Chain A
Amino acid sequence: MSTREIVLNGVSVDYGNRLALENVSTRLDAHRIAVIGANGSGKSTFARLLNGLEAPTSGSLSVHGLDPVRQGKQLRRHVGFVFTNPDAQIVMPTVAEDVAFSLRGRGLSKSEIAGRVASVLAQNGLGDHADAPAHTLSGGQKQLLALCSVLVGEPDLLVADEPTTLLDAANTRRIADLFSALEQQIVLVTHNLRLAERCDIALRFDGGRLVEQGDPVDVVGRYEREFA
């Protein structure tokens, strides 16, 4: 990857009956980027653009030097995506198998895959659950598994779309601590404003437009005052 920059130039996403994003332009190179805003404000659409899950109707974007539309397959090796609901993200029956699934087709030997899987599970507190059926895990453990399945691929950018929405306070804190410790660039879409404040920069969306970008404490403060 040549750069650690996310660049959007006049990006709009039109679903036909709804303009999900409207003429968004920005340049982001911060380590931890929070994305906040009300439901339906365009946050998730913005996140999905970064992994090629959505394509812009107009405008252009580049993520770490790659075009998510034309170079989607190549990009997805470098951009991990964590969804709100881990159940939709876990595709294999057991914990270790699901993590190993992320390494398929990368030309690694079975022992290399087993080593990387064991290492990422141990680092994230799931070492004792390697052979457990995924459906027997708690909600927090499932989200940790979803994260492990992304992190094992060693992405340069991690995009997380409301990863703590379904979690209790303890698991939210655990995920937040994990994000803080990661070296990768992170785009964190969240309704948890305390989590957003821990980032280096915050973007605020409203009605599909990027209305504010800056210091997280300032952006979150102004957002909260609007509802005070």
Chain B
Amino acid sequence: MQPLGLYRPGSSVLHRAGAGVKLISLFVLALAASVPPPSIWLLGGLSVLVVTLYLLAGLGFRELARQILMIRWLILLVTVTGLLFLPLDVALANVTRMTLVIVLAGLVTLTTRTSALLDAFEVALSPLRFAGINPQRISLVLALSIRTVPVIAGFAQQLRDAQRSRGGRVSIRAFVVPLLVLSLRHSDDLADALIARGAD
């Protein structure tokens, strides 16, 4: 499992660019894709830009295809609902916009270490210190959320294996309750680990 397009090491221009620059660029490009009226030239141009950036980052078509494949169900859902309620060109433009923004966001996480992203978030959130909010804590919560996804997925896999090995029928209750128990126990252990590592 490779969740949330985690960082792929590299030395491309995109890898070397600052996390803040990449996040601001993502924001600007997302606005450019979303705000103006849909135009084939704009969306076509942005699509060419996305492909170029993936190639520039050394990730290639294969990674781009993998990113799109990961969100295939979302693309299908948005396309179907769009076709039901909107004209064809608007529905296609919406799904293209959404895909472009998600794939661009994926490019940022693929070329930026999580720690660099968190540092950038900390800088961006630093004005909130005046409101008594600690940006370090917010960035730690984000890091823990990313880290916890594969751990919980591992618990779910263990429980599915345990159910199969006992030959039982698939039961939602027999899956959700132990998953919650394991997750809560993990959060207790994690809290201890954070204290032990001086994060209190």
Contacts and interface: CB of A to CB of B under 8 A. Distances in A.
Contacts of A104: 136, 199
Contacts of A147: none
Given A76-B198, A88-B189, A100 B115 contact: yes
A102 interface: yes
Interface stretch (A8-16, A25-33, A130-138, A204-212): A130-138
B70 interface: no
A85 B33 CA distance: 45
A73 B151 CA distance: 28
Interface stretch (A90-98, A180-188, A218-226): A90-98
Interface in A130-159: 131, 133-135, 149-150, 153
Contact of B186 (A81, A88, A102): A88
A83 to B, nearest CB: 6
Contact of B192 (A77, A83, A90, A97): A83
Contacts, number: 86
A92 B194 contact: no
B7 A85 contact: no
Nearest to A90: B147
Contact of A135 (B151, B189, B194): B151
Given A91-B193, A93-B147, A131-B7, A73 B198 contact: yes
A93 B195 contact: no
B189 A83 contact: yes
Chain A residues touching B, range: 20 to 34
B115 A97 contact: yes
Given A133-B2, A135-B151, A89 B193 contact: yes
Contact of A97 (B114, B136, B194): B114
A51 interface: yes
Contacts of B200: 72-73
Nearest to A89: B193
Contacts of B178: none
A112 interface: no
Given A133-B150, A134-B147, A91 B190 contact: yes
A117 to B, nearest CB: 11
A100 B193 CA distance: 15
B151 A91 contact: no
- Give 5 closest A-B pairs by Cβ, nearest first: A88-B189, A135-B150, A81-B196, A131-B9, A89-B193
Given A53-B195, A81-B193, A101-B199, 11 more contacts: A77-B198, A83-B189, A83-B192, A83-B193, A88-B186, A88-B190, A91-B143, A93-B114, A94-B6, A94-B114, A149-B197
18 contacts: A51-B196, A72-B200, A87-B151, A88-B190, A88-B192, A91-B147, A92-B115, A92-B147, A93-B114, A93-B143, A94-B7, A100-B115, A101-B197, A101-B199, A131-B7, A133-B150, A135-B151, A149-B197
